Chain A
Amino acid sequence: MPEKVLMKGNEALAEAAIQAGCRFFFGYPITPQTELAAYMSKRMPKVDGTYLQAESEVAAINMVLGASAAGARVMTSSSSPGVSLKSEGISYIAGSDLPAVIINVQRGGPGLGGIQPAQSDYWQATKGGGHGDYHMMVFAPSTVQEMVDLVSDAFDLGDKYRMPAMILADGMLGQMMEPVALPESEGKALPEKEWAANGHQNKREHHIINSLYLQPQKLEEKIRERYERYHVIEEKEQRAECYRTEDADLVLVAYGASSRIARSAVNKAREMGLKVGLIRPITLWPFPTKAIAKAAKTAKAFLAVEMSMGQMVDDVKLAVQCSVPVHFYGRTGGIIPTPGEVLEQIEKILGGDR
């Protein structure tokens, strides 16, 4: 077991990417993720990697597309307004079947919004963001250690399914320090990318990386093929943590920063004798519908807790399929809800049953 060190979430994401074999980073500064790019600028040259501060977010994401097309393990990071700018490029990356890791350390929106933590980019991350029929895998860490672990998974699964993957964090996770054990995986062999456009000296057919298909039949065929992969992912890659849900009358659903607050509220409620549990989605796409549907068989109600006006709650409702009521509590604009506020909601919902 490597020694635990204290790291900011932003720095841990960067180091984890390097440990996972990422050698190309294209970024552009924005609060609250700037430490990530700053860390990369110091560390990348030491591992013979490339750190490049692009002239804009749009440029950075297109550099990611280029590096990925050439077969490189590549990452970019930003915060909410910057991810909006990157969304065009993300659509192109998905449309070109390229793997890449995109980090969003969310802040309040819309527009320039604020710089405090928020979770109001859920729809953008899971329902598209860019144009066209596509998905990317979306991971939602809730601790600095999990940020480290999920970066490596995002790279590996992105390679496996040839698609972009996002780490959806927020300002709180990015800025906070927690103990982390970094994996000692530097130098591990990466999978061969047989499709890469990386030069072949006329020894094979040339590879074309492209998202343009002018023949509608061809485009539909391509998209259908992609959706077959998406269905496999929805079947095999759902992840969630179930906490004290076995006998729970009320199941909270929360991810990332708000799941930490929800967990504290669950523990307080349990101390009061209330049967409350928590499902914490770790993948947001694919959404852990199985874990939620299973809990819906025994729970009397659900409560989605988010740092938004209610976005993930839609997916909870779809998974619950109207079998029991789904409530919502959220704070937005950079406000972090307190466990006390969430406990109040729990008491209100369970009030009738006591």
Chain B
Amino acid sequence: MEKDLNIVLAGFGGQGILFAGKVLAYAGLQEGHEISWLPSYGPEMRGGTANCSICISKEPIGSPLVVTPNVLVAMNLPSLDKFIDAVEPGGLVLIDSSLIDKKVTRTDVTVCYVPATRMAEEHGFKGLANIILMGRLYAEIPFCSEENLDAGLQKCIPARKAAMLDMNRQAFALGKASKE
């Protein structure tokens, strides 16, 4: 990992935003990085949207609240609108383009349009658009080894849901392959 990652994941409640964040955090932890994960729990959550801040760093983490992300994953339009201006120049923006029609007008950020929700449905991974996007994020910024990433998935999926682990692995691989 070349530089610290300050990630904001945002979308609707139920899209697995907090879960996806936890996978990234655990993967970072396995890799030996400092990490923090902070969910929104306030009024915005009660309005049906969810977001979370994840910091992955080599140094101890100061504020866990990401104000200027260098990675934004937006899974609905309100989230994109809310956070796009805050993204650091040179940052990475991942958009679920099957749910968001809008194109980003900023030219100083890298934008990946991934039709994650549609891909999930087509491949029988309904509800795993979040993990597809994580796969793409990893393809863009491989912040840890593949083994540690997989260990992160294993930490987040309880052993009694072993079938889910396999689905998540496949969804992740699908997202990762979408870069090519």
Contact = CB atoms under 8 A, between A and B. Distances in A.
**Interface residue SS majority, chain B:** mixed
B143 interface: no
Contacts of A260: 61-64
B36 A336 contact: no
A260 to B, nearest CB: 5
Nearest to B63: A261
Contacts of A114: 42
A179 interface: yes
A177 B22 contact: yes
A176 interface: yes
Nearest to B21: A177
B115 interface: no
Size band of the interface chain A makes with B: 20 to 34
A177 B52 CA distance: 11
A256 interface: no
A339 interface: yes
Interface in B127-180: 155
B41 A171 contact: yes
B97 to A, nearest CB: 29
B35 interface: yes
A261 B35 contact: no
A6 B63 contact: no
B38 A172 contact: yes
A4 B65 contact: no
Interface string B57-88: 00001111101000000000000000000000
A172 B37 contact: no
Given A4-B29, A6-B22, A338-B67, A175 B62 contact: no
Contact of B38 (A4, A31, A115, A176): A176
Given A114-B42, A176-B36, 10 more contacts: A115-B42, A172-B64, A176-B39, A178-B35, A178-B36, A178-B61, A178-B64, A179-B29, A264-B62, A267-B62
